[in-house]
Amino acid sequence: FNLVYYSNVDWASTMEDRQLTFSYCVYLRPSPIAWCSKKAPNPTSRSSSKAEYRRLAHCISKILCIKQLLVEICVS
């Protein structure tokens, strides 16, 4: 199977409270099978690249769980 994911971290929409918004979407073939979009509860980092790295690590952990689930239910 072929999993594709997209992720994004956005600071620009919340300059007042400095909360970042992160989102991701995971596709299996052409269909989305998982997605998430939410604000981080606290300012996690002053650096946007550091925040994106943390969110990327979070997304990868979710993708690994999805991949394992697909293997267990024999999706090819």
Across the range 17-32, mean pLDDT stands at: 86
At 75, is the pLDDT very low, low, confident or very high (cuts 50, 70, 90)?
confident
pLDDT in tens, 37-73: 888 766 556 666 777 788 888 888 988 999 999 999 9
* Long-range Cβ contacts of 4-11 (<8 Å, 24+ apart): 5/59, 5/63, 7/55, 7/56, 7/59, 9/48, 9/51, 9/52, 9/55, 11/48, 11/51
**Separation between Cα atoms, residue 58 and residue 20, nearest integer Å:** 14
14 pLDDT higher than 70: no
**pTM above 0.75?**
no
Structure tokens at 35: 């997605």
